[in-house]
Homo-oligomer: A and B are copies of this chain.
Amino acid sequence: MSKGSGSAMRAENVADGAPDTVDPAVEALVQDIIGKVADRWTMLVLEALEEHGTLRFTQLGRIVSGISQKMLTQTVRRMEEDGLVTRTVHPVIPPHVDYALTPLGSSLSEAFCGVWVWAEKHRDEIEQARRRFSEASGKPRPA
């Protein structure tokens, strides 16, 4: 999933009228971002921080119930790397680390909210479609 995002290729000038010309670099980056954000844990951490503001490691782990330390660390690190969250270490005993969304992280949360709203709005249609599909295929309902 980690594709060559290091490319300095710039093609923001999509001033043409052709809608079918999607820049490969942009497309790659978008896929990369989506891939990360759509991750089960990343999404939940994003939400948790959007809701509660600053949180500690353990707090985060409690809110995102079910996540392992490994995944929490990994998720949070990647989000930090992408500039979505800030990681503040207080050098005291016992250790104390705070996590918070950056403006970039907040804006992503907001942007992704559109898809969230869509899913919520159309979940009935989706379930209907699934049922219709199961009916037509003669297959039993998958879980």
Contact = CB atoms under 8 A, between A and B. Distances in A.
A34 to B, nearest CB: 5
Interface residues of A, number: 66
Contact of A111 (B13, B104, B118, B128): B118
A40 B51 contact: no
A81 to B, nearest CB: 4
Contacts of A34: 38, 40, 43, 115-116, 119
- Copies of this chain assembled into the complex: 2
B4 A115 contact: no
4 residue pairs, one from A and one from B, having the closest CB atoms: A83-B129, A38-B38, A111-B118, A114-B114
Interface in A54-101: 62-63, 65-66, 80-83
Contacts of A20: 51-52
Nearest to A1: B38
